Homo-oligomer: A and B are copies of this chain.
Amino acid sequence: MGELLARSAPDDWRTPDAANTLYLQLDSGRVVIELAPDFAPHHVAAIRALARSHYYDGQKIGRVQDNFVVQWGDPATKGITVPALAGEFSRPITAASSFTVLPDADGYAPVVGFTNGFPAARDAQGKTTWLAHCYGTLGVGRDIDANSGSGAELYVVIGHAPRQLDRNGTVAGRVVYGMEHLAALPRGSGPLGFHEKPDEGVTIRSLRVAADVAATERTPLEVLRTDTPLFAQLVELRRNRADEWYKVPAGYIDLCNVPLPVRVSAPTPPG
């Protein structure tokens, strides 16, 4: 894969929009999240506004459940109420929708593939599309009511893809850099990985929209485009590994096993 990426052209990469990029700053380093306004416009707007109000700053990552999710954000700690939003679990497919089909069959959806770098799915009729829950997916916490999420409580998948969550929750983005700062957090001691002891859990130093951060303090990233011949080659390379170590190529790849390469596009990123 390294060799293939070394042959990539500048056009094979894109720079995420700073207005749709979040920096989640922990003591251990920076987690960079790309938001998905095409799929969750209202939640993304709410998350952006909450970040700009510094709502997430100082909150604890209050849940770390092994092989499932990390989760943070509690309006009560800030003494505020955040308005609930209608769930954005799927959206209509329009003529403008970009979608690169992954030819491999998927058990959870009739058609899967990628939309602007996000693992995604479609229904059999080609009417609706939604983002899939893979490792690194950013989701919106909610209660029983489908329309009770607000963006005040967020989670990131840190285990085997919990695809059963697809179309049951709003996916707002995905981690593109620094995932290890979330995945390696100590697991919570309580049921479902919730922290129960006062000294448990790391604190979010800040959560900022990249556009609000001085250019010199940004992490300059490029993500590989998923609508290119190069990406199709990458998928094929992973579907049938050609390197000598592999004796039996799988002949298949599942959606959440497809790597989505990200590179730092300047020599010395901060954070």
Contacts and interface: CB of A to CB of B under 8 A. Distances in A.
Given A66-B180, A180-B187, A248 B168 contact: yes
B247 A164 contact: no
Contacts of A146: 247
Contacts of A241: 164
A166 interface: yes
Contacts of A256: 160
A42 interface: no
A269 B166 CA distance: 38
Contact of A67 (B166, B167, B183, B249): B183
Contacts of A134: 160
Number of copies: 2
Interface in A72-109: 89, 104-108
Interface string A98-137: 0000001111100000000000000000000000001110
A185 B184 contact: yes
Interface string A15-39: 0000000000000000000000000
A214 interface: no
A200 B146 CA distance: 44
**Size class of A's contact patch?**
35 or more
B168 A247 contact: yes
A183 to B, nearest CB: 6
Contacts of A14: none
Contacts of A159: 135, 159-160
A265 B252 CA distance: 40
A246 B104 CA distance: 26
A61 to B, nearest CB: 13
Interface in A120-176: 134-136, 144, 146, 159-164, 166-168
4 nearest A-B residue pairs (beta carbon): A180-B187, A107-B252, A167-B248, A164-B250
Given A64-B184, A159-B159, A184-B186, 19 more contacts: A66-B180, A67-B136, A67-B179, A107-B252, A107-B253, A107-B254, A135-B160, A144-B244, A146-B247, A160-B160, A160-B256, A160-B257, A164-B250, A164-B257, A167-B248, A168-B247, A183-B183, A184-B184, A184-B185
